[in-house]
Amino acid sequence: MNNRLKAHLALLGANLFYGAGFTVAKTVMPRLIEPLGFIFIRVSVVTLLFWLSYFGGQNFKTKIDKKDWKILVLGGLFGVALNQMLFFAGLNLTFPIHASLVMMSTPLLITIIAHFVLKEKLSWEKSLGLMLGISGAFLLMSAGKEITVTGNSSLGDLLVFLNAASYAIYLVMIKPLMHRYRPIIVIRWVFLFGFCFVIPFGLPQFLHINWSLFHPRDFSAVAFIVICVTFFTYLWNIFALRHISPSTAGAYIYLQPIFAAIISVLFTGEHMTMVKVIASVLIFTGVFLVNFGLKRNKAIA
């Protein structure tokens, strides 16, 4: 199995976890944990897990060039602190599927940023794929109103959109470092700096958590968000960025509403309508065109 195929599989798995995370996080937030307190748990635990790699040998102790420290600090700000705090604060004010739909702005933002910053070319196939994916997202959004109308908040939508913008900046910014360092080295520094930014906002809410109110399923939900939706997704995303372009990686976010909708159908009794099926087909087609095109072209992605 070549690295490009592994990268695509990693992105598929990461976005499956993301899709599930929308629903799982809502089972404990804000009932038991406030948004920023939850982020404090996520970032602190995952930072520790990533830094365990330091003891993996000399290959995991590469010296960072002076010019790259700024990128790592900004990566911690945009890719961890702002990204996660804005998303959970927004998710707290709206429903899972609605939040996943707002996230559809990420691939477009990534493509625009990558075009201007990395001079990444935008082929007609990739443009068509983005258009189809966005069209599917609009269809899915209209279908999602039936379950989001009572929780729709303009502030929540804005926070999730800002989260998408922050994550797009992070993906483009961190891409060059993937060719100079091992992915695990990059991500552990990104999380360490991100944790420093999170502490003043998340620690107060963390200290107010009443752990005696938690049931086993609540602890399981927290563990899933920390290990699967945070640790594995960041690790897999940063591995993928070493082998494919930021816009290609970002296009996988089109799958999140599909996964979120399926999980909602299975666990919350949500109905799957024909509109949602059509939207899903458009989104899958968009992802295929962005990643592979009509012809296999190694110059793309």
DSSP of 195-210, one letter per residue?
A: HHHHHHHHHHHHHT--
Structure tokens at 193: 């700096």
60: three-class secondary structure by DSSP? helix
**What is the residue-level pLDDT of the chain in tens, covering all 301 positions?**
788 888 889 899 988 998 888 888 888 988 899 999 999 999 999 999 999 988 887 777 888 999 999 999 999 999 999 999 998 888 887 766 667 766 766 666 676 777 677 666 767 777 787 778 777 766 655 554 444 443 445 677 678 888 888 888 888 888 888 788 888 888 899 999 999 999 999 999 999 999 999 999 999 999 999 999 989 988 888 788 778 877 677 777 777 777 877 777 777 665 566 766 777 677 777 767 766 666 544 443 4
Query: What is the pLDDT at residue 57?
Result: 79
Query: What is the pLDDT at residue 294?
Result: 63
Task: Say if residues 14 and 255 touch (Cβ distance below 8 Å).
Answer: no
| Identity at 242, one-letter amino acid code | R
Chain centre distance of CA 19: 9
Task: Say if residues 59 and 111 touch (Cβ distance below 8 Å).
Answer: no
pTM: 0.76
In Å, how far are 34, 155, 255 from 200, measured between CA atoms? 14, 22, 34
Rounded CA-CA distance 126/247 in Å is 9
Which sequence spans correspond to the domains of the chain?
Answer: 3-291
Q: Tokens 């095109």 belong to which residue?
A: 293
Query: What is the pLDDT at residue 148?
Result: 40
Rounded CA-CA distance 138/151 in Å is 18
